[in-house]
A = this chain, B = another copy of it.
Amino acid sequence: MNIQNALADRVTALKASAIREIFKLLGKPGIISFAGGIPSPELFPTKEWGELMKDIFDTEGSKALVYGVTEGYAPLVEIVDDINSKNGVGKDFDRTIITTGAQQGIDLLLKSMINEGDGVICEDPSFIGTLNSIRSYRATLHGVAMDECGIRTDLVEEILKENKIKLIYTIPTFQNPTGITQTVERRKKLLELAEKYDCYILEDNPYGDLRFKGEVVPTIKSMDTNGRVIYVGSFSKTLSPGLRVGFITGHQAIIDRVIVCKQVNDVHTPLINQMLVERYIKNYDFDAHIQKGCDLYGHKCALMLECMDKYFPENVTYTRPEGGIFLWCTVPEGIDTQPIFKECIDNGVAFVPGSTCMVDIEAPSNCFRLNYSTMPDDKIEQGIKIIGEVLAKYV
C-alpha cells in the first residue's frame, strides 16, 4: 500500500505556506516578529466584545447556534453593502456574501472560475495565500513586476497578447507584501485591458481602510460597469483575523456559484462571529476604531522607516507605504535573503523572506517583507537594529 496514491494530482506538488510555517517558529518567547500580518492586539476591543457576546448568548443564543444561511447573516450583509457603497463597490448586477475570512472568498471564487490550465496574472511578489490557492486549482501563474505605481500594465498587456488569461489578481491598495499603491491610471488601464482581452479582475482589498497618508485612490471595482471585477474585503485587518469574517462582492452569476461551493465547503460562516461583527459596528464607532488603527500604524511605519534609515546599510532600499501594514526591502541583486532570515531568527528577530511571496518560490530572492503593525515601539527599534547588523555582514 502506497499512501501517496491516495492523493489528488492537484495537491501532490503543493507546498505548505512558508509564512504559516514561520508562524509556528514564533511561539518562542521574546522573539521580535515582523513576520505577521495582523492588527495591533492592543486595538482589539476585547472588553466590548466579551459583553456583546454574552448578550448575544443571553438574548439570541438559540438563533446564533443553529444553522445559518450560506449567504451570510443578513444584517451583516447589509452593513457590508453600506461600507462597500462608500468605496463605490456594488452595482445592480452585484451581490455580496459573507465568507470565513477573505481567504475563503478568494479560494471559492477560484474554485468557481478556474479550470485546470487557465492563465492567471498576478503581481510578483504577491499574497502567498492566493498564490497557493491558484496553484491548488492548477492554473498557470503569470507573475508581473511592479514599480512605484503598482503592477506594470505594459507587461500585463504583453502577457495578454500571447496567452489566454482568465483572471487578473491584484491587491491595488497597500499591496501585500510591498505596501505599494496602484495609481488611478494603472487601475483604469488594468480594467481596460480586462475588457479588451475578455478576462476578469479579482481585486483584493483587505488594507484599503488603513490609510495614514496621501489621498484615497478609487477602487477598481468602483469603475466596473458590467461585472468584470470581483471584489474581496475583510474584517481581519480592521477588527481581528482570528474571527475569520470577510466578504466577496461580484456579479451575481459568479457569486451564485461561489455560494454553491461554500455550501459544500463550510455550509456557512459561524453565526456568533458574524453577529459579533454586526453588533460591534452597529453599536460602536467603527470609523473611530479604524482611525485609531491608522494613527497607530502611521506612527509605527514612520518609526520603523526612521530606524531603517539609521541602522540599515545604504545599499538596502525599501518602500515607503501610505497605509496598510507591510513594507518591502530590497538588498543588492544576487544576494539571497534566506540565509539572512535564518541568522535573524537565531538572533531573535523574524520577517518574511521574499522568495515565499514570489510566483517562482524555488528561486532565491533579494527581498524581504517587514510588518510594522504589531510590535511595540522599543521592539521595533531593537529588531531593526538587529536586522541591520545581520544585513551588514551580507551586503
Contacts and interface: CB of A to CB of B under 8 A. Distances in A.
A68 B242 CA distance: 7
A46 B65 contact: yes
A133 B264 contact: yes
A226 interface: yes
Contacts of A9: 115
A263 B44 contact: no
Interface in A93-117: 100-101, 103-104, 107, 111-116
Contacts of A23: 67, 69
A66 B239 CA distance: 10
A4 interface: yes
Contacts of A133: 264-265
A65 to B, nearest CB: 4
B129 A111 contact: no
Contacts of A64: 242
Contacts of A265: 103-104, 107, 133, 265
A285 B270 CA distance: 24
Contacts of A244: 100, 266-270
Which of A36, A114, A132, A257: most chain B Cβ within 10 A?
A257
Nearest to A104: B266
Nearest to A49: B57
A49 B56 CA distance: 10
Interface string A141-170: 000000000000000000000000010000
Contacts of A217: none
Interface string A264-296: 111111111100000000000000000000000
A8 B101 contact: no
A227 interface: yes
Interface stretch (A10-18, A321-329, A336-344, A358-366): A10-18
A191 interface: no
